[in-house]
Structure 1
Amino acid sequence: MRSLNKPTLIGSAVLAAMGSLAMVSTAQAKDVIVKIGHIAPLSGPQAHYGKDNEQGARLAIDDLNAMKIQLDGGTAKFELVAEDDAADPKTGAIVAQKLCDMKVNGIVGHLNSGTTVPASRIYHDCGIPQITPSATTPKITKQGFDSVFRVIAHDGVLGVALAKFATADLKAKKFVVIDDRTGYGQPLADIFAKQVQAGGGQVLERQYTNDKATDFAAILTSVKAKNPDVIFYGGMDAQAGPMLRQMKQLGIKAKLIGGDGICTTELSKLGGDNVGDNVMCAEGGMALSKMPGGPAFEKRYKDKFKSDIQVYAPFVYDATMTMGMAMKEAKSADPKKYLPKLKAISYKGVIGTISFDENGDVKNAPVTVNTYGAKGKTPLTIIQ
């Protein structure tokens, strides 16, 4: 009996071992790790933007994982690789190369135009698709890279819309234009100034600062002597806030107008009691309250992070989801396989339907002009 049963027992043991190996193999095959790089300033004066962006990306990562997407023979497990570029182009390039060396599957970022432009070439050269949710200089998508996309209106759209609003709606005639000399602020100011002049307005003076400045006494003293109707500032809220305080101290009555860089909830804190209907700003998209999925997204965001949305979190969320949906359609996280799907995608997101033109810019991007009142930022009009 023993001799007859021994082969059977051995066979059973072999089959059991093979079954165990199969179970291990199956378990291993269940998770396909998909790394999405997200880059923004997480330190310095723009850290509140960067954290806002990162949190938008994390919400999307949670939702993608909940979908149990099947990629490359298994279930995708999306992971966010968050990096700090400190809003510095050199740091941004170093981080970009680091993510290339890590062979991440896609990039959502950078936040700033100045960091996005040099980084975009690095990602293109190493074959990683990139979607920027917030960098607005037209240069990004005019480099001829077929792997670079944007889900927000660029400065060519924003600057023109703001200039038309200032001259046609506000009936402003005299302007002073100030910018921070960054890859974002300077081109936006240039576009605004050119369009104002085309619309019959007069640019009395161009002034320049930098994205680290907080003292604008010399600039504003010169501006006060010109008595403009409007001061346009091309830059971020970390400078616009102190500028507004100092405008009040000097008795300057001009309205301050800027792009999406100053269009934050933080501006009300930074600018103190000189932030009201004298401040107007444009966002490259619908106001949060007007976005198709805006109110629901805002509730989820506040419930999870216990903070208000600054500006770009919905755009970051949609950029991350759009990339994930392209992978889903391709059934692969391999950039070469999902890039064609990304080019052709039509995704209904929080901000609206996302599809891209031949340059990689989002189609039909609206612009919302906002002002500030007792309840904070309030949409005035939508230009499309």
Structure 2
Amino acid sequence: MMSVLLVIVGACSDSNVQGSDYESDGNSVKIGSIHPLSGGLAQEGQEMRDAIRLAIEEVNEAGGIKSLDGAKIELVESDHEGLAEKGVTEVQKLDSAKVVGIIGTYSSGVALPATQEAERSGIPFVVDIGSADEITERGFKYTFRMQPPATSFSKDFLTYFEEINKSTNTPLKTAVIVHEDSVFGSSIAKAINEQAEEYELEVLATLPHSAATADLSTTINKITSLKPDIVLSTTYLRDGVMLVEGLQNTKFTPKAIIGVANGAFSNASFITDEAAANQNLMDVNYTINPKSEEATKVKEAYLEKYNKHLGPNAAYSYMAAKVLIDAIERAGSTDRTAVMQALEETDYTDHILPQDTIKFDEKGQNINARAVLNQIFENESKVVYPEEYQEVEYVYPAN
């Protein structure tokens, strides 16, 4: 069995790029990974980085890039720390490291400037997670996104809401939107507000907050005074936990708490470690295809190797790596333009996502990307809608 060729060479003291001073032996292909490996989003970033490592290990053990005489994939890891300005400088360092393509970034606020810098440098950039519509709306040729955009998340939520509302004798009619205030949460909240009336959902209030906040008491007091049927939540892990626990400490219980692209409710650690807070929580989000045998194998391999569960974010990073490597294989070249052109022609069927073939439109958006409705039952998140991916029946209203 071939050994995995990952960059483990220490980074220079003035750089967050691990192994940027590595001298290639001529039989390896460098790809870059840029995620939050430190700071408030480090847990999620490290999970995503590990999924990319797993994907690379599988390819290398299977013989590497066959069209390039078995060249091994070499991962150059970069830490943007959750900072937009670091997104730009780390792309520049990855450019200097001569990567063929980049995968990232988890944060839309980092993805926007990072992909702009990659476009300027002509580096193919596969966005694993980053929901802001603008990411693929700027006419860029080198940016490709795996996950659904914000407007798609919102549309999927409202469609699912309408369908499951028909199944209950007590339809839910009012909502309060709570979201972290970066471009990520703000774009989702904006899209829901723009479409809610069409689906007969009344939004009573939209309450933004900083993901780094230490106090959501004002938000929670506002929710309890308005008494909505639903609390809609777009957060990261820390503030998502704070919101749910804060609501549970009040006398008000909404009929449903539903995440829309929620970074907490589909987080593997939240699902397994927050049993007192998470029962029956719903989340309209990307996930792994529960009907896929290949997805099961990947989950088991990830758990065995890293002793942690493969969450939705990591699943998309895994597939982003596979898609980028597939493009390099088909290009038969490390020329960045050739790889970009191969990405444009992607038609990837053997994947682990709840969608049809992975294909990109002229803007670089994965045209079949979709969110599903997940619900947490006893430390497991299950797909409850749509029916083609459904694992169990949903509980709705949840309370």
Q: Please state which band the TM-score falls in when normalised by the shorter chain.
A: 0.7 to 0.9
Are 1:266 and 2:261 an aligned pair? no
Q: How many residues align?
A: 354
What CA distance in whole angstroms lies between the structure 2 residues aligned with 1:145 and 1:40? 21
- For 1:79-228, list aligned pairs within 5 A: 79-170=74-165, 171-228=171-228
Report what 1:340 is aligned to: 341
Q: Quote the RMSD (CA, aligned, Å).
A: 2.1
Residues 290/236 of structure 1: CA separation in 2 closer, same or farther (3 Å cut): farther
Whether the 8 Å contact between 2:157 and 2:284 is mirrored in structure 1 is yes
Q: Is this contact kept in 1: 2:128–2:145, CA < 8 A? A: yes
1:12 corresponds in structure 2 to: none
CA distance in 2, matches of 1:258, 1:375: 17
Q: Any runs of at least 4 consecutive aligned residues in structure 1 with deviations exceeding 3 A, and if so which?
A: 28-31, 268-272
Letter in 2 for 1:321: K
Listed one character per residue, the Cα deviations across residues 124-178 of structure 1 (whole Å, up to 9, x for unaligned) are 1001001011111111111100111011222211111112323442432111112
Provide the rounded CA distance (Å) in 2 between the counterparts of 1:46 and 1:77: 30
CA distance in 1, matches of 2:241, 2:65: 44
Q: CA deviation at 1:362?
A: 1.1
Q: Which residue of 1 aligns with 2:321?
A: 320
What TM-score do you get using the length of structure 1 for normalisation? 0.86
- CA distance in structure 1 between the aligned counterparts of 2:158 and 2:188, rounded to whole angstroms: 11
Equivalent pair of 1:287/1:368 in contact (CA under 8 Å):
no
- When you count strand as a share of all residues, which structure comes out higher? 1
Task: Tell whether the 8 Å contact from 2:358 to 2:369 is kept in structure 1 after alignment.
Answer: no
* Equivalent residue, structure 2, for 1:22: none
Deviation per residue, 1:17-56 (Å, 9 max, x gap): xxxxxxxxxxx99842211111111122322211111111
Paired amino acid for 1:69? I
2:64–2:73 CA contact under 8 A, matched in 1: no
Compare 167-176 and 321-330 and name the one that shifted more: 167-176
SS of corresponding position for 1:105: coil
Letter in 1 for 2:284: A
For residues 203 and 259 of structure 1, the distance between their equivalents in structure 2, rounded to whole angstroms, comes to: 14
| Cα 1:320/1:143, change in 2 over 3 Å | same
Whether contact under 8 Å (1:220, 1:247) holds in the other structure is yes
Structure 2 Cα separation of the partners of residues 47 and 361 of structure 1: 26
Q: Indicate the residue corresponding to 1:68 in structure 2.
A: 64
Shift of 1:336: 1.6
- Structure showing greater Rg: 1
State the TM-score, normalizing by the size of structure 2: 0.83
Given residue 210 of structure 1, which amino acid in structure 2 is its aligned partner? S
* Cα displacement (A) at 1:70: 4.1
Residue 200 of structure 1 and its aligned partner are, at CA, apart by: 1.4
Larger helix proportion of the pair: 1
Indicate the percent of aligned positions where both proteins have the same amino acid: 23
| Residue among 344, 348, 351 paired with 1:349 | 351
Aligned 8 A contact 1:59 1:317 in 2: yes
1:321-372 deviation digits (Å, cap 9, x = unpaired): 1111111112111112222111102122232632211111112223210111
Unaligned stretches of 5+ in structure 2? Answer: 1-22, 166-170, 389-399
CA distance in 1, matches of 2:41, 2:26: 36
Aligned to 1:382: 386
